[in-house]
Amino acid sequence: MSGALSRLLVTVERYPELKANQNFLELQAQLEGTENRISVARQKFNEAVQDYNSYIRSFPRVIYAGWFDFEKKGYFEADAGAENAPKVEF
């Protein structure tokens, strides 16, 4: 997402009339906000997973976790190729 946003901003620098367009300015603000929300959600998810993993590994919960098959959960990891943003043409 950040790669696409940086390429978008480079494109804007080439076309000053696009930079002044109100619709584009709103799109830019929405993209930045979306990127921030995704980052915050990813961080909160990973913190929750860390808390859960610590919780089930502490005594005496580790005994109950073994009885009821509570397993350690993995952190969020993006799929391979997710860092490549889709091509956007204006």
Tens of pLDDT along 44-85? 999 999 999 999 999 998 898 889 999 999 998 877 766 666
Instruction: Establish if 30 belongs to a structural domain.
Output: yes
Q: Let me know if residue 53 belongs to a domain.
A: yes
Structure-token pair, residue 86:
């889709």
Domain-embedded: residue 23: yes
Residue 78 domain flag: no
Looking at the predicted structure, is the pLDDT value of residue 88 above 60? no
* Residue span of the structural domain in which 10 resides: 2-67
Asked if residue 72 is part of any domain, the answer here is: no
What does pLDDT average to over the chain? 81
Number of structural domains in the chain: 1
Peptide bond into 86 cis (omega under 30): no
**Which pLDDT does position 57 carry in this prediction?**
92
Is 60 exceeded by the pLDDT of residue 25? yes
Alpha carbons within 13 angstroms on the beta-carbon side of residue 38 total 11
27 has a pLDDT exceeding 80: yes
Q: What is the pTM of this model?
A: 0.62
Whether 79 is in a domain gets the answer no
Higher pLDDT, 37 or 81: 37
Output Rg (C-alpha) for the chain, integer angstroms.
21
